[in-house]
Chains A and B, each alone.
Chain A
């Protein structure tokens, strides 16, 4: 009976002065409305529980630090905190989508396919083919160096040993190979991006 008679403002005031029981009464009085409000937004019991807890942790800290401005609006104030925390929750989830265990299970929500889709795969193959054809047009010495460097991943030292030229010559041939490729690409407006 006492719970009904005591106003929120009085309970808050008592709590600030150290009466822990006042907090219990406040929580008991408003828990259903606050929890239902949170649940109506997040539709997940565990998340609602977390947000409810965080809401009251914030309430407790604010009250204990004496930062609460009593205007007889305890419930709207708590609801506002809960609302802000719900927004924070959704913001966080947007950044880091999480596995949703509540509703219908969809395996595709947790699995991501790193492979390219059919269209992108075709474009990629096309680009690779175009590059190969362009390389075929290069002078033999340049094509040889570029092939060893890019496709066989050999170092310039290895290339120089294999081809019997100095490292500087191998580097120069690579440079000219790239310059010539760029020239042909620009001249014919070839698009080589995926």
Chain B
């Protein structure tokens, strides 16, 4: 199939893009839920929802 050059390539808008709000919200919630428990020389991750 022929390529259609009349539509802008997706790369042109690459500079003004933002991640979805859900992604950000997930990351902030993940950060709150994650706790790192040190034990001797080891570190354990725990997700507490």
List chain A positions with a Cβ less than 8 A from chain B.
20, 23-24, 27-28, 31-32, 35-36, 39-40, 43, 48-49, 52-53, 56-57, 60-61, 64-66, 102-104, 106
Contact = CB atoms under 8 A, between A and B. Distances in A.
18 contacts: A20-B28, A20-B31, A20-B32, A23-B27, A32-B17, A32-B18, A36-B14, A36-B17, A40-B11, A40-B14, A49-B19, A53-B26, A53-B27, A56-B27, A60-B31, A66-B36, A104-B3, A104-B4
Interface of B: 1, 3-4, 10-11, 14-20, 23-24, 26-28, 30-32, 34-36, 43, 45
B24 A31 contact: yes
Contacts of B18: 31-32, 35
Given A36-B15, A36-B17, A40-B11, A57 B30 contact: yes
